[in-house]
Amino acid sequence: MRRRWKGLIVIFAALVLFFAGRGLVRARERRLERQMKIQPLIQLKLAPLAFGRFVIDLPEGVRLVNWSQTFQGTGPIRVAKGGTPEQFKQTVEQRAEELRTQRHEDGGPLLEKVVDLGLPHAQALTYWKDEWELKTTFIECDAFYLKNGSIYRFKNTIDLDPADQKEYFHDFKQMLQAIQPRRPEEIPTLSGSCFDDAILLDGPDRDFSDIVMVTGVWPDRPDVRFQLVVMDNGPFPDPQLLDRLARANALHGSGVLRSRDRNIGPIPGQEHLERVEEKNGTQGHLFIWEAQGEANQWRSPQIRVEMTTGEGQHAPQDTSLSDEDALTLWDKILDSLRWRPSSNPPPFFGGGRKRSPDSGSPDQPAPSYYVAPPPRPDPFTFTLQLPPRPSPKK
């Protein structure tokens, strides 16, 4: 019996050593695979891209996709490119018909009226959100605008009072006239907020807050993504980045490469850079920088820049950048963040103070982080060690 138990123990120990050895071999193979991806130094170009009121340099060829934008007075904006007058008409009629066929509990349709906004291919629909909504103070509004082949669709809640609606649509028409198309690579010199292939221009009597979010896709390195966010703060800005991470016990760990205060020029901010291991064993990076901004001050918004690596089409995959390469790329991108050049810069910026229109005396300090960008070549080039672009699977 003892011999039998000894034999089983020996077999079990052999199996443990076998599978442990296989795991070590696979881990070593994975490390070698990652190392073999690194190739000789190449030249990488960065090109400027505009988002909101800012400019940042991303690798040449990066496409900005998945735009999300909301402006004060417009609500969220969806943009459909390649639109024609026929498609515009069909889009408006289809939405109006949907609202006509849906009934309110009082027996009438949800659709209240169709509003001509006084511009070519510009209409709005006012309606009740659902059949149980009380017809008291507010009403929903969908607006549609065709300009230069793009159909802009707006969604907002407005006052039910006819006088207030008249004023709203008057201001909204001016807002539509302020939308100017632009090429994706274009950096406008006019003052305003850039979004999906367009810019919403500022006006002498129009100051507006905005929320602009966009993702950057790099075709040459499909696993590397960029996300840019700029939004105005309400009365209570979010806690700072490192405070939130500390509360979640995520500030320290074996994969943390940096976690610190980091100003971009005079813009105060914080960064947290981490190498992450996914559940499937792959490794990637999560790099975040945030500027908290100031309360109730759209000219000092919250800014967030994020870079991730190891993004797969269906599941995480191994990063195509080493830690050193990722840090080098990150630093070059982040250091390029700046206020967009403008022929009509906001009066709060430029190192001065806001002056009272009646007295002319300085009465309010300027936000602390604006600085005019120094002259620089765009696009510019730096050296970065990168793996070659993966060959397509046969």
Q: Note the pLDDT tens digit of each residue in 48-83.
A: 999 998 999 999 999 888 999 988 777 889 999 989
pLDDT of the residue at 370:
32
pLDDT tens digits along 148-168: 999 999 999 999 999 999 999
Q: Percentage of the chain with pLDDT > 70? A: 73
Q: How far apart are CA 129 and CA 139, in angstroms?
A: 7
Per-residue confidence band for 88, with pLDDT thresholds at 50, 70 and 90:
very high
Please tell me the least confidently modeled range out of 62-76, 198-212, 272-286, 344-358.
344-358
Classify each residue of 192-208 as buried b or exposed e, where b means 16 or more C-beta atoms within 10 Å of its C-beta.
bbbbbbbbbbbeeeeeb
What average pLDDT score do residues 345-367 get? 33
Higher pLDDT, 36 or 357: 36
- 111-116 and 75-81 as β-strands: parallel, antiparallel, unpaired? unpaired
Tokens representing residue 393 in the block: 């699977």
pLDDT of the residue at 20:
52
What average pLDDT score do residues 209-228 get? 91
Q: Which residues pair with 84 in a beta bridge?
A: none
What average pLDDT score do residues 291-302 get? 80
Per-residue confidence band for 5, with pLDDT thresholds at 50, 70 and 90:
low
223 has pLDDT over 90: yes
CB atoms within 10 A of CB 104: 17
pLDDT tens digits along 237-261: 778 999 999 988 888 878 999 999 9
Per-residue confidence band for 267, with pLDDT thresholds at 50, 70 and 90:
confident
pLDDT of the residue at 269:
94
Mean pLDDT comparison of 200-214, 246-260, 288-302, 338-352, highest-scoring range: 246-260
Q: Percentage of the chain with pLDDT > 90? A: 48
Per-residue confidence band for 18, with pLDDT thresholds at 50, 70 and 90:
low
CATH superfamily of 41-68+189-394: Mog1/PsbP, alpha/beta/alpha sandwich (3.40.1000.10)
Higher pLDDT, 207 or 77: 77
Q: How far apart are CA 75 and CA 65, in angstroms?
A: 20
SS3 113: strand
pLDDT tens digits along 92-131: 999 999 999 998 888 889 999 999 999 999 999 999 988 7
Please tell me the least confidently modeled range out of 197-211, 251-265, 313-327, 354-368.
354-368
DSSP-assigned letter for residue 77: E
pLDDT of the residue at 263:
93
pLDDT of the residue at 137:
84
DSSP-assigned letter for residue 267: B
Q: How far apart are CA 338 and CA 370, in angstroms?
A: 8
pLDDT of the residue at 34:
52
Cα 200-204-209 angle, rounded to 5 deg: 45
Query: Structural domain boundaries of the chain?
Result: 41-68+189-394, 73-177
Mean pLDDT of the chain: 79
Higher pLDDT, 350 or 302: 302
pLDDT tens digits along 308-328: 999 988 899 999 998 999 999
Q: Is 133 exposed, middle or buried (0-12, 13-18, 19+ CB in 10 A)?
A: middle
Q: How far apart are CA 127 and CA 100, in angstroms?
A: 9
